[in-house]
């Protein structure tokens, strides 16, 4: 073994394993697709308060995944070490919306596909996924459910309320009924015949009805 072989650096040999042009093109495309994912997520978000930080994370995920995959594909030994290193990482951030999981995997998948050199697949696939999400997530339901919360004094008032509501809705189901010495509280899920909600004003005018509330309901939380 010669003196030069002893001090030979494998680290410096990896400097040119991925060309600068390939890096710039891959990261630029990852940024573009990540931004597209971010805009689709913002457009389709249905939660109460939008988190800009999560949207920026989607862009970062695409770019981070891309340069990690570029390193892995250029060196087999590095790929084995990277798998071992990433296997000990644990993420504790809770995902609030189920659809957010799809966006996270979308960003990661886009980065992987780009680093593999499948640029048409990454671009066309992302565009198709974005269109599908825009169509299905933003589609307005034709039969919007509502919850009516009514507080009345006795069973006769309860029967009057139920009969009155049935005249203005296509379907009604009592989801919850609370009985106490102060009265009866009903939670009724209804499907309206149209967008007119003025009938709820007349419910509170019935005898022995204390108050009535109408809220929209999507099956998971009340808006």
Tell me the per-residue pLDDT of 87-130, one tens digit each, with 9 for 90 and over: 555 666 666 777 888 898 999 899 888 888 888 999 999 999 99
Q: Are residues 126 and 28 in the same domain?
A: yes
Q: Which of 51-60, 122-131, 160-169 has the highest mean pLDDT?
A: 122-131
The answer on 23 and 132 residing in a single domain is yes
How many Cα atoms are found within 13 Å in the side-chain-facing hemisphere of 213? 10
Same-domain check for residues 180 and 132: no
Residue 72 inside a domain? The answer is yes
124 and 36 assigned to the same domain: yes
Whether pLDDT at 221 is above 50: no
Q: Would 221 be classed as within a structural domain?
A: no
- Which of 73, 108, 137 is the C-terminal boundary of a domain? 137
**Lowest pLDDT segment from 36-45, 122-131, 138-147:** 138-147
Residue 188's closest CA among 203, 205, 198, 207? 203
Query: In terms of domains, do 127 and 168 share one?
Result: no
Helix intervals (H) in 45-75: 52-74
The number of folded domains in the chain is 2
Statement to judge: residues 157 and 128 lie in one domain: no
Contacts of 68 (CB under 8 A, 6+ apart): 82, 111, 115
Q: Which domain holds residue 191?
A: 145-216
Identify which has the larger pLDDT, 84 or 104: 104
- The Cα-based distances of 9 to 81, 116, 185, 193 in angstroms read 18, 27, 77, 76
* Same-domain pairing of 112 and 149: no
Q: Do 149 and 60 fall into the same domain?
A: no
Examine the domain organization and report whether 78 and 13 are in the same domain.
yes
In a domain, 223, yes or no: no
Domain termination site, one of 71, 106, 137? 137
Say whether both 29 and 118 belong to one domain: yes
Asked whether residue 93 falls in the same domain as residue 24, the answer is yes
Per DSSP bridges, beta strands 183-192 and 169-180 are: antiparallel
């Amino acid at each position: 073994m010669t003196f030069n072989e002893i001090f030979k650096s494998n680290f410096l040999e990896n400097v040119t394993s991925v060309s600068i042009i390939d890096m710039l093109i891959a990261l630029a495309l990852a940024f573009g697709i990540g931004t597209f994912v971010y805009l689709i997520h913002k457009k389709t978000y249905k939660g109460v308060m939008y988190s800009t930080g999560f949207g920026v994370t989607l862009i970062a995920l695409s770019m981070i995944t891309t340069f990690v995959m570029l390193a892995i594909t250029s060196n087999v030994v590095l790929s084995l070490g990277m798998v071992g290193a990433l296997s000990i990482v644990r993420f504790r951030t809770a995902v609030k919306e189920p659809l957010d999981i799809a966006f996270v995997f979308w960003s990661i998948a886009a980065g992987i596909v780009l680093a593999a050199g499948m640029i048409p697949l990454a671009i066309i696939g992302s565009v198709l996924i974005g269109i599908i999400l825009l169509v299905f997530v933003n589609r307005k339901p034709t039969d919007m459910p509502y919850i009516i919360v009514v507080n009345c004094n006795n069973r006769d008032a309860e029967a009057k309320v139920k009969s009155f509501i049935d005249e203005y809705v296509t379907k009604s189901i009592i989801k919850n009924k609370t009985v106490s010495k102060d009265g009866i509280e009903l939670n009724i899920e209804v499907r309206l015949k149209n967008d007119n909600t003025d009938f709820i004003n007349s419910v509170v005018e019935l005898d022995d009805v204390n108050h009535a509330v109408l809220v929209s309901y999507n099956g998971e939380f009340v808006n």
